[in-house]
Amino acid sequence: MKGLPPVLITAIVLVAGFALCAVQFPNIASTRVVGNLLTDNAFLGIVATGMTFVVISGGIDLSVGSVIGFTTVFVALAIERWGMPPLVAFVAILALSAAFGAAMGAVIHVFDLPPFIVTLAGMFLARGASFLLSTESVPITAPIYSTVSDFALRLPGGGRLTAVAIIMLAIVIGGALLLQLTRFGANVYALGGSRATASLMGVAVGRMTVKIYMLSSLLAGIAGIVFSFYTSAGYSLSAVGVELDTIAAVVIGGTLLTGGQGSAIGTFLGVLIQGMIQTYINFDGTLSSWWTKIATGVLLFAFIALQQGLVALARRPVAKRAGAVS
Amino acid sequence: MENSLDPAASLLEVRGISKSFGAVRALQEVDFTLRAGEIHALLGENGAGKSTLIKVVTGVFPRDAGIVRLGGEEVAPRSAKAALQAGIATVYQEVNLLPNLSVAQNLFLDRQPMRFGIVREGEMRRRAKTLLADFGLDIDVSAPLGNYSVAIQHVTAIARAVDLSARVLILDEPTASLDRHEVEILFRIMRQLAKRGIGIVFVSHFLDQVYEISDRITVLRNGRLVDERETASLSRLELIRMMLGRELAETTSARASAGAQTTREVCASFEGYGKAGYVAPFNLELRHGEVVGLAGLLGSGRTETARLVFGAERADRGQARVEGAPVRLQSPRDGVRHGFGYCPEERKTDGIVAELTVRENIVLALQAKRGLHRPLSRREQDEIASRYVKMLDIRPPDPERPVGLLSGGNQQKVLLARWLATSPRLLVLDEPTRGIDVGAHAEIIRLIRELCDDGLALLVISSELDEIVTYSDRVVVLRDRAHVEELAGEAIDVGSILAAIAADGASVAHEGRA
Ligand SMILES: Nc1ncnc2c1ncn2[C@@H]1O[C@H](COP(=O)(O)OP(=O)(O)OP(=O)(O)O)[C@@H](O)[C@H]1O
Ligand SMILES: [Mg+2]
């Protein structure tokens, strides 16, 4: 259930890719570059951790990109126009996004609707709401923003581990522990195995579904705040399509899209791989940044093929499988 | 939760329960009483409403009418979890647990030993090991449950329910995929639990087991209560009459007459056929008009042999021939192409498409055999479906009903119909009567004989030796994944099969990883 082999493969791809990059551009292998990579991808790492829970439980959450966008706009307006203290604004938006996720989870469970549809509606809803708040980019000038942006742990070799990177690492580790060590985590895997069976075994499936989507949206909210730190602005068009990058990271990290298997650490490695490709392209300087997407696409294909292979292999020795036709 | 040890005290009282699914009245004013410390068999034909009653009592389905009292207090659980909290632990008929979780997680899901909000993995594994040791299983509990055989998965499900130490334990066909040995262990544990004052509800189609273990019997027919009786004072014939509402037609062994003609044509033969680490090389001849039975313990290689014969598994040595011509069987498709049919043991995972209707499920294999460019007309489909619905007495007799809504035994019949519809030359049946009621059981055995008389070659796996003896012309006995003996004609009886299975006695070991 820990999905170790796929994670190992992701780790190998990451290390090998990084080594290749380092051969071409020796500067890449520095704490400075790695530190930046973590900072640049902090919001992605956070939201992908939430997505991991959702995907392992057999669902999907397409609304996360929009929730990030909404969060940045809400935070910017709350602080700059409505005069809220930043911390109050953060608490308010986190409560709001958690409630949003809980509502999606409840709808999925109560009306027995596919998560794809419900969260697709959530995606339009959240994006629409952020346009309603403001269509233009709202710069944030609150002092806390510069304080947080300036804060960083110095790494040997001149790198900086920024506050947002630290938040992301904490969330990844927290997510991994929650998934592997707690009852909640075990139930997430159980839901991914089979909702019906989990329910017959006494798992409170409805409550779990609500909690899982709540967690995903809550982390999307945190990712939104982190994103606003990163850009010092709120913009309704920010983070468009991030849900897809997130799902890509989850899959590259070895989580089965059909649910039941996967890990938070794998997802983190998936995020790093995407960041690494981006970094490589930046270093090269001549390549279009769209190559990131192409490389991600190729990797996705490779990983999905690999997982299918592994699944087939895992089934082989089970001598009890289908003999039915077609 | 205190246990009352007063034997006459009724622990679980079900009064006037009704439940309809649309137009189907699955339960009508059913009463059921379970005493503390008794083992109570709940019996009835396929589709009688046993599983539905269990699901209504445990809150999986909402009830239309009636009340349930547990220890005198009215309860109305609204989910399996709530029923569990009220003190009713259940192994549902279709439960196979969660194959993606470890065995230990399956046993302790939602009730893991915790410290500071963290699951104590080590402790959980230790407890899982002890728990399974009671059932005679010594396996790696941290491996995914899906790595193990159906029997082990089933034992795990039962062990989980037993360990919930509820006041009421409900087991819906727990023994369907178990071996004699495991059944004995289960019965021993059930008796221990009953002695502690736990009330146990036991559903089974194996009447021997019912007489062996149960104190009282409640019979349902067509969703209604027929009667509640003491097991000791109820004769088997009377019980069967209560279940079926009629006499059971006599099944006579047709073997003796068929045995006369010995020179039947060979339909398929396998020479030195086998696969390393799967089944040791064997020789097997399957003739037209002949039933070959495969006997042996669970994990002895019966299903494995069947899969090799059908092509579901690739052999790495030996030669297969069909009607004398050498063939290669590399995939189920090859098997189908040569006119083989295979009705697997695990209908839930291996065959039935729950969302499709009875008709669509029945024509599935036939359509695949004909190829997609030659679709069966709707009229042909209807005709085939209604013929088999009638022949196998599938209930309710509605070809347009999604198979998932049929009772367990009726689903099994649909699967059988699917392969019969392809009119194969060789049909492999893995446990064809599992989960099928006494009435239909006799029907299926008669059907097997009839098919044979029409020239079909049959290879049948069954754990019920009486059954194998009734219809087989030859019996191949397997042990430790090798064919060890072949019995024919007069030599076939339960005693000699048992002797062959147990020769060099020691190894009644368990099937480990399948
Ligand atoms: N979810 C459902 N929807 C509609 N009809 C159902 C559903 N479940 C069961 N039924 C119908 O209710 C009746 C009783 O089925 P049930 O599963 O209780 O039978 P059973 O006694 O357990 O039989 P078996 O021995 O085959 O398991 C059947 O006619 C079945 O088709
Ligand atoms: Mg049933």
Query: B347 in a domain, yes or no?
Result: no
- One domain, residues B289 and B363: no
- One domain, residues B325 and B265: yes
Q: What are phi and psi of B38, to 5 degrees?
A: -110, 160
> What distance in Å separates residue B343's CA from the closest CA in chain A?
7
Distance CA B289, CA B262 (A): 11
Residue B2's pLDDT is what? Answer: 43
> What distance in Å separates residue B98's CA from the closest CA in chain A?
6
- One domain, residues B219 and B257: no
Domain count, chain B: 3
Write the single-letter amino acid at B493: D
- One domain, residues B169 and B297: no
Nearest protein Cα to ligand 1, atom 6:
B405
Residue A317's pLDDT is what? Answer: 43
- One domain, residues B456 and B332: yes
Residue A2's pLDDT is what? Answer: 40
> What distance in Å separates residue B220's CA from the closest CA in chain A?
24
- Dihedral over Cα of A232, A233, A238, A242: its sign: positive
Question: Structural domain of residue B223, as residue ranges?
Answer: 10-100+144-234
Please work out whether the CB of residue B436 comes within 6 Å of at least one atom of ligand 1.
no
Contact state of A189 with B101 under an 8 Å Cβ cutoff: yes
Please work out whether the CB of residue B50 comes within 6 Å of at least one atom of ligand 1.
yes
Residue A67's pLDDT is what? Answer: 96
Contact state of B105 with A186 under an 8 Å Cβ cutoff: yes
pLDDT at A319 over 50: no
Residue B348's pLDDT is what? Answer: 56
- One domain, residues B441 and B503: yes
Distances (CA, A) of B196 to B40, B184, B210, B318: 15, 19, 20, 56
The CB density around residue B276, as the number of other CB atoms within 10 Å, is 10
Contact state of A319 with B306 under an 8 Å Cβ cutoff: no
Residue pLDDT, tens place only, B208-245: 889 999 999 999 988 899 988 998 898 888 888 888 87
Interior/surface letters A274-308, b for 16+ CB within 10 angstroms, e for the rest = bbbbbbbbbeeeeeeeeebbebbeebbeebeebbe
Query: B62 in a domain, yes or no?
Result: yes
> How much distance in Å is there from the Cα of B49 to the middle of ligand 1?
6
Please work out whether the CB of residue B434 comes within 6 Å of at least one atom of ligand 1.
no
Residue pLDDT, tens place only, A59-69: 999 999 999 99
> How much distance in Å is there from the Cα of B408 to the middle of ligand 2?
5
Q: Is the ipTM of this complex over 0.90?
A: no
Q: pTM score, two decimals? A: 0.77
Query: B122 in a domain, yes or no?
Result: no
- One domain, residues B398 and B429: no
Residue B259's pLDDT is what? Answer: 46
Residue B216's pLDDT is what? Answer: 93
- One domain, residues B66 and B161: yes
Mean residue pLDDT across chain B: 82
> How much distance in Å is there from the Cα of B54 to the middle of ligand 2?
9
Distance CA B142, CA B144 (A): 7
Mean residue pLDDT across chain A: 87
- One domain, residues B69 and B79: yes
Residue in the structure block whose two tokens are 């009653």: B53
> Stretch B268-296: mean pLDDT, rounded?
87
Residue pLDDT, tens place only, B327-351: 888 888 888 888 888 887 765 556 6
Which option is the CATH number for A6-316: 3.30.457, 1.10.3470, 2.60.40, 2.50.20? 1.10.3470
| pLDDT confidence bin for A50, thresholds 50/70/90 | very high
| pLDDT confidence bin for A307, thresholds 50/70/90 | low
- Domain residue ranges of chain A, discontinuous segments joined by +: 6-316
| pLDDT confidence bin for A315, thresholds 50/70/90 | low
Contact state of B110 with A187 under an 8 Å Cβ cutoff: yes
| pLDDT confidence bin for A318, thresholds 50/70/90 | very low
Distance CA B455, CA B266 (A): 11
| Residue A78 and residue A84 in contact, taking contact as beta carbons nearer than 8 Å | yes
| pLDDT confidence bin for A175, thresholds 50/70/90 | very high
- Cβ neighbours of B154 in A, within 8 Å: none
Look at A44 and B329; give whichever has higher pLDDT: A44
- One domain, residues B408 and B467: no
Q: What are phi and psi of B67, to 5 degrees?
A: -130, 160
| pLDDT confidence bin for A172, thresholds 50/70/90 | very high
Please work out whether the CB of residue B24 comes within 6 Å of at least one atom of ligand 1.
yes
Query: B345 in a domain, yes or no?
Result: no
Q: How does strand B426-430 pair with strand B340-343? A: parallel
Distance CA B95, CA B174 (A): 10
* Residues A284/A287/A290/A294 CA torsion (nearest 10 deg): -80
Residue B214's pLDDT is what? Answer: 92
B95 touches chain A (CB under 8 A): yes
SS3 (DSSP) at A265: helix
Which domain CATH number covers B75? 3.40.50.300
Residue pLDDT, tens place only, B86-144: 889 898 887 668 888 999 999 999 888 888 888 898 889 999 999 888 877 888 898 88
| pLDDT confidence bin for A117, thresholds 50/70/90 | very high
Q: What are phi and psi of B293, to 5 degrees?
A: -95, 145
Query: B480 in a domain, yes or no?
Result: yes
Query: B131 in a domain, yes or no?
Result: no
Query: Which of B408, B423, B438 marks a domain boundary?
Result: B423
- One domain, residues B328 and B364: no
- Cβ neighbours of A323 in B, within 8 Å: 306-307, 310, 312, 332, 342, 344, 350
Quick one: which atom of ligand 1 is closest to the CA of B205? 25
